[in-house]
């Protein structure tokens, strides 16, 4: 009897150690396996050339739509996401700054890896290019020495992720403008097949929007 | 334990004639005679169930770690960073949350007042003082769970632009169920716990949360409760 219960105690201890291992493995696996995380949910915006609004602030009598998946959104901040898949080419995000505070943050599965606000804008335009290491090297090699590109180039840790655009409406009267400013940002995929001069053209087109 | 039955059940199959006493004897016999295989199945089942349940519990709801206490508020500087802890990442993934990145802003939450009492929707609170330097900020209130149906949303929060300030630039927000003069923030529900969120946008405080102290965040004082 004594021996058996001792064996039972050992089995319980072993079970607890196993529980610890399973716990750690499960916590580490959740971000990888989750289908409700922001990266997976933002996937639907990949085909759009402007951010998909995921939280539009309430304007006048229009309440903000309940389908927004942010758990506790800020009622004064309009949010949009642009998903990217860098295997299709680098992603270019262009924003024109207005009177409202705007911020861009690039997220991958592990979290945000870059964030910038409209105070970093050059002549009222904010241009972000998100690329892989290989695409970055290619862009550097293609650069014209006399006319360096003014883009902010960011190397992404993963091929997939999203850029989140936030616009703050300080006053209720600014809310329609905040929702519109989200839509005015452009998120386009740069074509990489072009040679250097063509690449420059597409750069010009991107900023001109 | 139930998983061990098929493994060592063969030994006790004969004693199942008298149902009730048979079962007791069966369990007793199983206890005595539990083979190594039975114990192994038991240990695996215990480990699996306990491990998954605890992982679910730890990543449900709010962030378990990473908060920095500043007065009644808790700042979450690393919630959106790439080097966030695995629990924070799991919570974000499960909720579909897009946390503020360090360069974007900082989230502070408060679930209790300066005396440590849980914020209650039936009580009146004065939230006053200044905020850490930020280009813009919003202070919002939310109850747990879904909104009560049929309750009109009068106001969920104030932004730094629209809030009424005193001459020295400081402000006072009254969180109360009944109408108050000045900055009145209506309670989001009739009763139950509520949470305050202070979001600082474009703030240097996000990179140096250690520099924040009690005097730089709004104080939350309980004034009274409706019985």
Q: Which of residues 135-174 of A touch B (CB under 8 A)?
A: 157, 164, 166, 168-172
- Report the gap between the CA of A69 and the closest CA in chain B (Å): 7
pLDDT at A60 over 80: no
- Lowest mean pLDDT segment, chosen from A34-38, A43-47, A158-162, A186-190: A43-47
Residues A132 and A153 placed together within one structural domain of the fold: yes
Residue A180: CB partners within 8 Å, gap ≥ 6?
A: none
Residue numbers of the domain that contains A112? 39-189
**pLDDT, tens digit (0-9, with 9 covering 90-100), for B41-93:** 889 999 999 999 999 999 887 888 888 888 889 998 888 888 888 898 898 88
Torsion of CA A167, A173, A177, A179, to 10 degrees: 60
Q: How many separate domains does chain A show?
A: 2
Tell me whether residues A16 and B93 touch, CB distance under 8 A: no
Residues A137 and A178 placed together within one structural domain of the fold: yes
B226 interfaces chain A, CB cutoff of 8 Å: no
DSSP run (H or E) holding A79? strand A77-85
The H helix count followed by the E strand count for chain A is 5, 9
The Cα–Cα gap between B73 and B80 comes to 18
Which residue of B11, B38, B39, B51 is the best one to mutate when testing the A interface, meaning the one whose CB has the most A CBs within 10 A? B51
* Helix, strand, coil percentages in chain A from 3-state DSSP, rounded to 5: 40, 30, 30
Tell me whether residues A115 and B103 touch, CB distance under 8 A: yes
The Cα–Cα gap between B217 and A156 comes to 35
- Look at the alpha carbons of A44, A36, A95, B137 in this order and tell me if their dihedral is positive or negative: positive
pLDDT at B206 over 90: no
The Cα–Cα gap between B220 and B110 comes to 9
Residue A206 Cα to chain centre, angstroms = 19
Residue A206 lies in a domain: no
Residues A64 and A108 placed together within one structural domain of the fold: yes
Find the mean pLDDT for residues A182-190: 87
The predicted complex's ipTM stands at 0.78
- Chain A residues in contact with B42 by the CB 8 A cut-off are 11, 15
**pLDDT, tens digit (0-9, with 9 covering 90-100), for A100-109:** 889 999 988 8
E strands, chain B, in order: 68-70, 73-75, 105-110, 123-129, 136-143, 157-159, 171-176, 183-186, 194-201, 219-225
Residues A30 and A43 placed together within one structural domain of the fold: no
pLDDT at B155 over 50: yes
Q: Rounded to the nearest 5°, which phi and psi values hold at B59?
A: -105, 10
Tell me whether residues A170 and B161 touch, CB distance under 8 A: yes
What is the domain-level CATH number for residue A139? 2.60.40
- In this structure, the strands spanning A152-155 and A125-131 are parallel
> Which of B43, B45, B89 shows the shortest C-beta gap to A111?
B89
């Amino acid at each position: 009897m004594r021996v058996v219960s001792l064996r039972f105690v050992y089995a319980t201890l072993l079970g607890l150690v196993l529980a610890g291992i399973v716990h750690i493995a499960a916590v580490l696996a959740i971000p990888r396996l989750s289908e409700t995380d922001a990266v997976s949910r933002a996937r639907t915006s990949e085909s759009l050339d402007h951010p998909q609004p995921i939280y539009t602030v309430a304007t006048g009598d229009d309440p903000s739509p309940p389908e927004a998946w942010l758990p506790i959104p800020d009622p004064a901040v309009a949010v949009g996401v642009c998903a990217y898949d860098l295997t299709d080419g680098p992603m270019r995000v262009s924003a024109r700054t207005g009177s409202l505070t705007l911020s861009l943050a690039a997220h991958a599965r592990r979290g945000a890896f870059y964030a910038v606000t409209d105070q970093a804008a050059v002549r009222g335009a904010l241009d972000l290019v998100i690329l892989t290491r290989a695409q970055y090297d290619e862009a550097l090699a293609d650069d014209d020495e006399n006319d360096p590109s003014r883009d902010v180039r960011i190397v992404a840790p993963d091929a997939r992720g999203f850029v989140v655009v936030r616009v703050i409406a300080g006053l209720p009267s600014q809310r329609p403008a905040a929702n519109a400013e989200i839509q005015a940002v452009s998120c386009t995929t740069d074509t990489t097949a072009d040679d250097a001069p063509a690449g420059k053209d597409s750069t010009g087109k991107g900023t001109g929007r | 334990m139930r998983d061990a039955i098929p493994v060592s059940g063969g030994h006790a199959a004969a004693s199942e004639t008298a149902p009730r006493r048979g079962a007791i004897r069966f369990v007793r016999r199983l206890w005595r005679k539990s083979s190594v295989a039975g114990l192994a199945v038991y240990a695996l089942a215990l480990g699996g169930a306990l491990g998954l349940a605890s992982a679910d519990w730890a990543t449900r709801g709010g962030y378990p770690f990473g908060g920095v206490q500043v007065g009644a508020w808790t700042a979450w500087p690393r919630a959106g960073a790439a080097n966030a802890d695995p629990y924070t990442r799991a919570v974000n993934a499960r909720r579909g949350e897009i946390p503020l990145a360090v360069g974007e802003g900082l989230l502070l939450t408060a679930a209790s007042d300066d005396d440590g009492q849980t914020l209650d929707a039936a009580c009146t609170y004065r939230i006053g003082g200044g905020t850490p330097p930020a280009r813009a900020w919003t202070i919002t209130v939310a109850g747990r769970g879904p909104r009560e149906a049929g309750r009109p949303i009068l106001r969920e929060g104030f932004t730094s632009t629209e809030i009424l300030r005193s001459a020295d630039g400081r402000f006072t927000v009254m969180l109360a169920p009944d109408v108050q003069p000045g900055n009145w923030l209506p309670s989001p529900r009739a009763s139950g716990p509520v949470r305050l969120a202070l979001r600082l946008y474009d703030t240097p405080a996000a990179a140096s949360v250690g520099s924040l102290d009690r005097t730089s965040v709004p104080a939350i004082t309980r004034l009274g409760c409706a019985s």
